[in-house]
Structure 1
């Protein structure tokens, strides 16, 4: 059994293991391609928070019923704002970039 040192540290803990980075890429919220039902918003949100997609879908449905449909607007906004898995920009950003590029060339 390990003896705890003052400050709550275990004397048997490996100091090198504590200093190693656990993840090299930042954790991003994306719309997933696998497990999606419509656009991947709920499955992507579930993957980001580490919960079951069914719970996120249920919460979205309850939110939609309790807010008389505002959950649908939030879902559509999320589908436009959250980028798809493997892409750097969202649908909304792509549309803005196209419009900006069109205006610059005129």
Structure 2
């Protein structure tokens, strides 16, 4: 079963975009570009969702242990 995790391999800030890229099997750079584009008109919402994902989505190393 595939789980959403924050990556430790392709990490820029907290690994959220890298983890989303791995989960959806797309390039994490594309996820980062989409997030940056969405940040312009929806800055507060994107920032809140990103920060929430940092605390709610486990690292891939933590998910392997569970």
TM-score class, shorter: 0.7 to 0.9
Q: Which structure: greater helix fraction?
A: 2
> Displacement of 1:86 after TM fit?
1.8
Contact 1:31 1:84 in 2 (8 A): yes
Q: TM-score, normalised by structure 1?
A: 0.56
Which structure has more relative contact order (CA 8 Å, sep 6+)? It is 2
Provide Cα deviations, 1:35-59, integer angstroms capped at 9, x if missing partner.
1001000000000000001110011
Matching residue of 2:44: 69
Flag as ranges the 4+ runs of structure 1 deviating above 2 A.
Answer: none
Q: TM-score, normalised by structure 2?
A: 0.87
> Displacement of 1:68 after TM fit?
3.4
Give distance in 1, aligned partners of 2:61 and 2:11.
15
Return the index of the structure with the highest Cα Rg.
1
Q: CA RMSD in A?
A: 1.0
1:14-93 equivalences under 5 Å are 26-88=1-63
User: What stretches of structure 2 of length at least 5 have no aligned partner?
Assistant: none
> Displacement of 1:69 after TM fit?
3.1
User: What stretches of structure 1 of length at least 5 have no aligned partner?
Assistant: 1-25, 89-106
